[in-house]
Amino acid sequence: MIKPIIVANWKLYGNKTFVQEFSKYFNLNLKNYLKKNTIIIAPPIIYIEYMKKLINEKNIFFSSQNIDYHNEGAFTGEISSRMLNDIGVKYVILGHSERRKNHFESNKLIAKKFHSVKKNNLIPILCIGETKEEKKLELTEKILKKQIDEIFLKCGKFAFNKTIVAYEPIWAIGSGKTATPNLINKILKMIKKYIIKNSFNNIKLYMQYGGSVSPENIKNIINEKYVDGVLIGSGSLNFKNFKKIIQISSNFNKKKTSS
């Protein structure tokens, strides 16, 4: 059995006061749920160390929302996987659609970042997804496979071992419209089978859904067979909503799906 993997992607939100309030709320209300969920918080990187001290709990994990693929060098403004490893961060969100769109990140660049994350013994949370137009044109499967193929090309047949892949349809992010649980399951199954077919045997691969996850829809989403967890944006910034999502998912320890 595996615990649901709940990732809170704060994006470019929060400030010192919010971090203090979130941490206080977490300590009072959420620590008990760590036994039943793997909780990973991805605040803006500058708050991670501070939050770690405030929460002071070894069973909560932190994630960066991005990295540069170099370990070090003359790359002003960047942070590296090696530096994250140095401060005890375990996870890195990669290929988020907001970075693909606003920072022109290509599949090739994301594959280089993925490679750096793995080389530094961190765990990638690779986001993949299609636009509304691509969905209308029935290109979803093709687009997702292309996003995956570039990672195989750069990182080889063991690339996806100990990795989280998050299906985040772009049309669902921040829209209040989630994909239906049935569609989420179907697409996660397709992605998982495709990755496993192209990998060496016995990889450990975890699947998430992201896009307008809320206290109202979490139960039906997390209940689906191929959903190992969720990637939450705005729902993770509201303490009470975040707690409700975690409370509900606590009841859904997942059976491992091998393919």
Amino acid type, 116: S
Pick the closer one to ligand 13P by CB: 44 or 158.
44
Q: For binding to ligand 13P (CB under 6 A), which residues are involved? A: 9, 96, 168, 173-174, 210-213, 231-235
Nearest distance in Å: CB 215, ligand 13P = 12
Give the span between the Cα atoms of 55 and 22, in whole angstroms. Answer: 9
Pick the closer one to ligand 13P by CB: 43 or 211.
211
Pick the closer one to ligand 13P by CB: 11 or 90.
11
Pair of tokens at residue 230:
């969720």
Nearest distance in Å: CB 170, ligand 13P = 9
The full DSSP string for 116-167 is HHHHTT-EEEEEE---HHHHHTT-HHHHHHHHHHHHHHHH-TTTTTTEEEEE
Nearest distance in Å: CB 23, ligand 13P = 21
Pick the closer one to ligand 13P by CB: 13 or 75.
13
Q: How many CB atoms lie within 10 A of CB 148?
A: 21
DSSP state of 255: P
Nearest distance in Å: CB 127, ligand 13P = 6
Residues with catalytic roles = 96, 168
Q: Closest residue (Cβ) to ligand 13P?
A: 233
- Contact partners, residue 3, CB within 8 Å, separation at least 6: 36, 37, 38, 253, 254
